């Protein structure tokens, strides 16, 4: 009986010591992960600026989507590649700059937003655009970050509709 009375407090004390001596939460790596995403995004912008189509689309995860303006959602690698092929080329200049990067406490998802610039020198349909962009990044099974959602839209006003023709 005496052993039972002494045993219960000992078990409680041992449990209390075990929980108080165990490591607390995992270290907060959000700042390091945000810096990693920003570095990758700077590399991505530089790759696109070189008009490197293969390199540009390599920053996307296999299940990524591109939500480009005035177009359906690009839901697969082929559609994403086609969208980028229309923006990159010898007469194109594209770049973007990050304004803010944030990573979830879990360290598995992050997002960034910023601004972009796109110029295409085409005598038939020249483009000189600036706007904003948003990217969602996900850490892959191999530990590398890839973009899973990419969207951008123009800051330019919507053009006025052409005047109605006379009948």
Q: What is the DSSP string of 79-114?
A: HHHHHHHTT-STTEEEEEEEEEEEE-TTSSEEEEEE
Alpha-carbon distance 87 to 119, whole Å?
9
**Whole-prediction pTM value?**
0.80
Stretch 69-92: mean pLDDT: 95
Name the pLDDT band for 8 (thresholds 50, 70, 90): low
Q: Which residues, other chains included, contact 151 with Cβ-Cβ below 8 Å and sequence gap of 6+?
A: 66, 67, 68, 133, 134, 135
What the chain holds in terms of domains, given with CATH numbers, is 28-154 (3.10.450.50)
By the 8 A CB rule, do 99 and 113 touch? yes
- For 87-100, write each residue's pLDDT tens digit: 999 999 999 999 99
């Amino acid at each position: 009986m005496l052993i039972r009375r002494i045993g219960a407090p000992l078990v409680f004390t041992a449990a209390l010591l075990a929980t108080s001596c165990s490591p607390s939460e995992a270290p907060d790596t959000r700042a390091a992960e945000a810096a990693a995403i920003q570095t990758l995004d700077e590399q991505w912008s530089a790759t696109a600026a070189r008009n490197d189509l293969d390199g540009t689309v390599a920053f996307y995860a296999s299940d990524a989507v591109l939500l480009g303006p005035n177009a359906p959602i690009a839901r697969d690698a082929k559609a994403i590649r086609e969208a980028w092929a229309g923006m990159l080329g010898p007469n194109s200049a594209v770049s973007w700059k990050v304004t803010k990067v944030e990573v979830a406490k879990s360290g598995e998802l992050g997002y960034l937003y910023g601004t972009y610039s796109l110029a295409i020198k085409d005598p038939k349909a020249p483009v000189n655009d600036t706007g904003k962009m948003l990217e969602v990044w996900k850490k892959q099974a191999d530990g590398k970050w890839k973009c899973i959602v990419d969207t951008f839209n123009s800051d330019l006003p919507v053009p006025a509709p052409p005047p109605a023709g006379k009948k």
